[in-house]
Structure 1
Amino acid sequence: MENKKEDIKSLFLFIGEIDSAISCASILNSEKNLCNPTFVDKKEVFSEGLYHPLIKDCTRNNLNLVNKSLLLTGSNMSGKTTFIRTFSVNAILGQTVNICFASKFEIPFFKIYSTIRISDDLINNTSYYLEEVVRIKELIEVSKKDDFCLFVIDELFKGTNTAERLAAGKSILSYLNKKNHIVMVSTHDLELTDLLKKKNFELYHFSETIENEKLLFDYKIKPGKPKSGNAIKILDLYDYPKEIIDNARIGIE
């Protein structure tokens, strides 16, 4: 058996390639709206009808960026993180199997880095904030190179206080948004929209409507920053005491 080790390894690789080819063929033979990506040698993104392949009846969105990065704000549960994941998934699929879940997908050939999945590390005795500091430092080091990079960041430094989070966030995001790099960051900090608008960040948001005491989301990306949030409304919908709701609303007036 020992003398067949390399043959078995080759067999596993062959089966894996066949399995991957069958999966790609199944997707191409489906009725899904697909396209082949177009790769450009400039800091631009053009996408139409973009959607997530694992979300049933996923709302499709368009995004165009020219020499700018994306700062995405909006209400809770409105689709911010899902959208930047959707873009990232399609960028990876486009660069690996030449398939995108969109009508059009035109991007540079990226190296992709993400800070979406971060948590406390009890084994190594590090907090969420420290884990994020270490991860962001990796992105900073990578950004010094001339390669096209896509930096996908969800709620930067949410493990620290507001004043320092805003100051550090503005500085770091501006630093990453240099050369050929594109940053896609979601945030609840509306103050960042004013701080980064002049730093070559395009502002977009997701929002909701309220009908019959229910929050309704259209999951459509919109230009600019949101006019309101829904955090207190969600507390109200879940029957928090009226005293809490009233005091909370006074606090934001």
Structure 2
Amino acid sequence: RIAGSLYRALSAPGERFAAFSGVFSVVERARFDSKPLVELKGRLAASGARPSTEMRRLVRALSFIQLREQPLFHIPINVLLLWDLGWAGALERWRERCGPRLRGWLDGLADLEALSSLAGFSFDNPSYPFPEVRDGEARLLAEGLGHPLLPSSRRVCNDLALPSPGAALIVTGSNMAGKTTLLRTLGINAVLALAGAPVCARKLRLSPLAVRTSMRVQDSLARGLSYFYAEIERLKGVLDACDQGPVLFLLDEVMQGTNTAERQIASRAIVRRLLGRGAIGAIATHDLALTTLEQETGGQARNVHFTDRIEDGKMSFDYTMRPGVVATTNALALLRKVGIELPEASGRRAESAGCGSDE
């Protein structure tokens, strides 16, 4: 029974143990010049045992126990040699010898993998500069900030500034004009910077920040969770993070899951609370009622926008961030473009920003 329980517990991860043995061998043979990598390698060898050797011993023991799957061979050899008992003892001795060290070995390997990923990103993007990260109050200043996953031929970079605690951008704009991409650009570069990687920008200066978002919220049938409740849980997490230190928040179409009146009240209250707690960030919205926050906060929250152009009946976007509130909308034009006719509509593209507050 003991051997059977050991086999059931270890048969699934057994293949991964074999892979770890090979990776540990590579690390043990590698020669590092960087002090952090030398220290990391030293941690793996600190116990005196070679992780690769011990992993091979574990895999060998597991492979012999797997003979249980071949009853014509297993039954007689187990009766004659007490096969299961012998290899169960070998596994127990391995656990006593290496069990306390295993977590440290795997943590060291995880650290090396993370550093390798950052080094690979830097190698693949030699033109990306490293950011300037300085302790102090919350701030983020970027020049030529772009999304690293967009090809350089299509990437449009923008300058933006969140110079002090409580600074925010209220981002309005036409559909498909680039609002959400701006939030993603800001978030991914902040994460790269704080992880120690280069960034997709001409220059980026920021303080240590916890990046918190309310984007791509999903309901859950399994959890019995509506879209609205999933969103307010996410927003509560963003607010709670402000109690732990400086926060960079990124909110996309806040409170979509409720009616217009309650959405406007709740959205304004949440943004005000974030700014009051010294967080910095950006809010992408079609709800133009939020744009009055610029006046109400004395300019701490600044309005910026993206827009579109229609030339010769074709819609185009330049993805350039501009100051102020968007002056045009394009929802009806996009509906017509995909073949959805709206006889009750005037058929004209909305020219007033107020026409599209609930797109």
TM-score by length of 2: 0.64
| Pair 1:106-2:205 in alignment | yes
Equivalent residues in 2 for 1:213-232 (5 A)?
213-232=313-332
Tell me the distance in 1 between the aligned counterparts of 2:349 and 2:190.
41
Please say if residues 47 and 105 of structure 1, whose CA atoms lie closer than 8 Å, have aligned partners that are also in contact.
yes
1:60 maps to which residue? Answer: 157
> In structure 1, what is the Cα distance between the partners aligned to 2:325 and 2:126?
32
Distance 1:30 1:217 in 2: 29
Q: Which amino acid aligns with 1:49?
A: G
Native 8 Å contact 1:235 1:245 kept in 2? no
Specify every segment of 5 or more residues in structure 2 that has no aligned partner in the other structure, as ranges. 1-57, 59-90
Select between 37-46 and 92-101 the one with higher mean Cα deviation: 37-46
Query: For 1:201-231, what per-residue CA distance to the aligned partner results, in whole angstroms no more than 9, with x for missing partners?
Result: 0111111111222211111111111111110
Following superposition, the deviation at residue 34 of structure 1 comes to 1.2
Mapping of residues 160-179 of structure 1, within 5 Å: 160-179=258-277
- The one-letter code of the counterpart of 2:314 is K
1:173-221: CA deviation from partner (whole Å, max 9, x where unpaired): 0111124311311101112102444222011111111122221111111
Distance 1:22-1:124 versus aligned 2 partners, 3 A rule: closer
Alpha-carbon distance, 1:32 to partner: 4.7
Higher strand share: 1
- Worse-matched range after superposition: 57-66 or 155-164: 57-66
RMSD of the TM alignment (CA)? 2.4
Q: What is the aligned counterpart of 1:85 among 174, 177, 184?
A: 184
- Residue in structure 1 matching 2:289, options 191, 202, 216: 191
Cα deviation, residue 140, structure 1: 2.4
- TM-fit CA distance, 1:48: 0.8
**1 CA distance for matches of 2:115 and 2:233?**
37
Aligned to 1:151: 249
Q: CA deviation at 1:46?
A: 1.0
Indicate the percent of aligned positions where both proteins have the same amino acid.
Answer: 29
Q: Equivalents in 2 of 1:248, 1:129: separation in Å?
A: 33
Kept after mapping to 1: 8 A contact 2:138/2:280: yes
Equivalent residue letter for 1:61: N
User: Paired residue for 1:28?
Assistant: 122
Structure number with greater Rg is 2
> Is the counterpart of residue 44 in structure 1 residue 139 in structure 2?
yes
Structure 1 gaps, min length 5: none
Residue 127 of structure 1: CA displacement?
A: 1.0
How far is the alpha carbon of 1:38 from its aligned partner?
1.6
For 2:294 and 2:129, locate their aligned partners in 1 and report how far apart those are by CA, in whole Å: 33
- Counterpart of 1:71 in structure 2 is 170
- Contact (CA 8 Å) 2:168, 2:302: kept in 1 or not? yes
> Contact 1:47–1:102 (CA<8 Å) still a contact in 2?
yes
SS at match of 2:343: helix
CA drift of 1:252 comes to 4.0
What is the CA distance between 1:238 and its match in structure 2? 2.1
Given the superposition, is the C-alpha separation of residues 106 and 214 from structure 1 closer, same or farther in structure 2, using an over 3 Å criterion?
same
Give me the whole-angstrom Cα distance separating, in 1, the residues matched to 2:284 and 2:204.
21
Number of matched pairs: 252
SS of match in other structure, 2:276: coil
Distance (whole Å) between structure 2 residues aligned to residue 124 and residue 17 of structure 1: 34
Instruction: Compare 227-236 and 24-33 and name the one that shifted more.
Output: 24-33
2:249 aligned counterpart, secondary structure: strand
Structure 1, 236-245 or 132-141: larger mean CA deviation: 236-245
Q: Using CA pairs below 8 Å that are at least 6 residues apart, which structure has the higher relative contact order? A: 1
Whether the 8 Å CA contact 2:293–2:301 is kept in 1: the answer is no
Distance verdict in 2 for CA 1:214–1:105, change over 3 Å: same
| Pair 1:120–1:48, CA change in 2 (3 A) | same
Which deviations, in whole Å up to 9, do the C-alpha atoms of 1:47-87 show, x marking residues without a partner?
A: 01111111112211110123321111111111111111111
Change (3 A) 1:197 1:19: same
Q: Is the CA contact 1:33–1:103 (under 8 Å) kept in the aligned structure 2?
A: no
Letter in 1 for 2:156: T
Distance in 2 separating the partners of 1:56 and 1:92: 20
